[in-house]
Amino acid sequence: MGLRRQPRRLGRLSGPVGRRVRRHRHDLVAAAADHRVKNLRMFGSVARGEDRPDSDVDPLADLPPGLSLFGLGKVEAELEAILGSRVDLIPAGDLKPGARARAERDLVAL
């Protein structure tokens, strides 16, 4: 089940971590694509522009079938190395309905 709302624009990424996401977005998308991870979108405090310098990053993504937990951790580690921030990569298909509705309000596509 896909998300219903269209993601917002990058300008919403206005906090200190969000600005790093904007600056490195091509590298983030490329690193994800190397693992066949697609449709990288931000949600949470970074997407709302409410992040602080120590905030983690919550990207939502479409994962390829069969990506192991080890593979997911590898993608997170690569994204963390690019950003210098903790990353908690969330598979879009794993969101429960209540979490999905909250995420849809925040989404910013890379």
Tens of each residue's pLDDT in the chain, 110 residues: 455 554 556 678 999 999 999 999 999 999 999 999 999 999 999 999 999 999 999 999 999 999 999 999 999 999 999 999 999 999 998 988 888 888 888 899 99
Find the CATH number of the domain harbouring 54: 3.30.460.10
Q: By CB neighbour count within 10 A (0-12 exposed, 13-18 middle, 19+ buried), where does 74 fall?
A: middle
Q: Note the pLDDT of residue 85.
A: 97
- Give the whole-angstrom CA distance, residue 36 versus residue 60: 14
Q: Note the pLDDT of residue 4.
A: 52
pTM of the entire structure?
0.87
Q: Note the pLDDT of residue 1.
A: 43
Q: Is residue 3 part of a domain?
A: no
* Amino acid type, 109: A
How is the chain split among helix, strand and coil, in percent rounded to 5? Answer: 45, 15, 35
Catalytic site residues? Answer: 56, 58
The domain in which residue 51 lies consists of 10-109
Q: Is residue 66 part of a domain?
A: yes
Rounded to a whole number of angstroms, the CA Rg of the chain reads 13
